[in-house]
Chain A
């Protein structure tokens, strides 16, 4: 069974630009969560999608948005990039997103904002 895939793996952008990251969950998984990981703040939850609906949301500004498609693939978008957005963005999928579900993480997208 293929794991969670994320594209692109690395990205360099400049301040003010926008970026779209993609995540393909494990086949059969319907819950997709996004996290931002930085050395200073650790792993922070951005949002979770289930059946094309945002089900949970973390404490990030509105510049961070996402969506999920009918095949459970998900994208996240960051508009008006800031230097502080430089981070590893991780996507995790699980079957239905309950506490007994194991989350499987993708390799991440390393975003650098210059």
Chain B
């Protein structure tokens, strides 16, 4: 099985930077995904990491360290619309189906 941990809730100020961490324990790692989910809406894909390092995509960046079983999602220049749940998901064990963490609820306040 897999164990995926991420903080339940985080708060940050508009314009600031926030880092959402995700740790996982798994065998046969096949990739790590980050999704954003606004309340009452479907998750939307943000990023995919399979190799160690940082992937930057606009205001969002995702980092992976396979040896440490660790990833983070970095959100810069926070906007109110970034208030959402951020889901970390890991594919492993010969399957490409990701297992999701419980998500981190990010609240951005003025």
Contact = CB atoms under 8 A, between A and B. Distances in A.
A43 B100 CA distance: 6
A7 B103 CA distance: 25
Interface in A65-114: 90, 97-108
Query: How many residues of A sit at the interface, in one of the four size bands?
Result: 20 to 34
A48 B42 contact: no
Contacts, number: 51
Interface in B88-110: 89, 91, 95-103
Nearest to A47: B97
- Which of B31, B97, B103 has the largest count of A CB atoms less than 10 A from its CB? B97
Interface residues of B, number: 23
B30 A99 contact: yes
Contact of A42 (B31, B97, B103): B103
Nearest to A97: B96
A42 B45 contact: no
A85 B42 CA distance: 19
Nearest to A91: B42
B86 to A, nearest CB: 12
Nearest to A102: B45
B44 to A, nearest CB: 7
Given A42-B103, A43-B87, A98 B96 contact: yes
A100 B91 CA distance: 11
Contacts of A56: 95, 97
